[in-house]
Amino acid sequence: MDIQVSVGNVVLDAELNDTLTARKVAAVLPLDLLFNTWGDEIYFEIPVEADLDESAQEEVAVGDLGYWPTGRAFCIFFGPTPMSRDGKIIPASAVNIIGRVTGDATRLKEVMGTGSILVEAKG
């Protein structure tokens, strides 16, 4: 599923995978919420409950979209977190990979102080 992520004046195209967790996230779109940052990660609590699944990773890549079961949070990774080491992007704990940004996710560094995010289906 194609989605769009808007933070301030940065609008990014992204896609959700075809996994159970990603489908649960798609079902609650659009989301217009305040977000938190943790290093170069934006995250925000969403009304989805899911356990770790076959997509779960303890290391992610720039542009990955994750669902963090511990905090019931949607996560967007665009650089190192406080736990990152040796150039690897490490979430606080394992996340389900639910999709990825198809554009330049590092543009989110420009708008980290914006405070709110809109995630919606595209098309």
What ranges do the domains of the chain cover?
2-121
Say what the pLDDT of residue 123 is. 73
The two tokens of residue 7 are 């933070």
**Average pLDDT for runs of 10 along the chain of length 123:** 97 98 98 97 98 97 98 98 96 98 97 95 88
CATH for the stretch 2-121: 2.40.100.20
Strand partners, 121: 3
Say what the pLDDT of residue 102 is. 97
- Give the whole-angstrom CA distance, residue 42 versus residue 40: 7
97 in Cβ contact with 72 (< 8 Å): no
45 in Cβ contact with 80 (< 8 Å): no
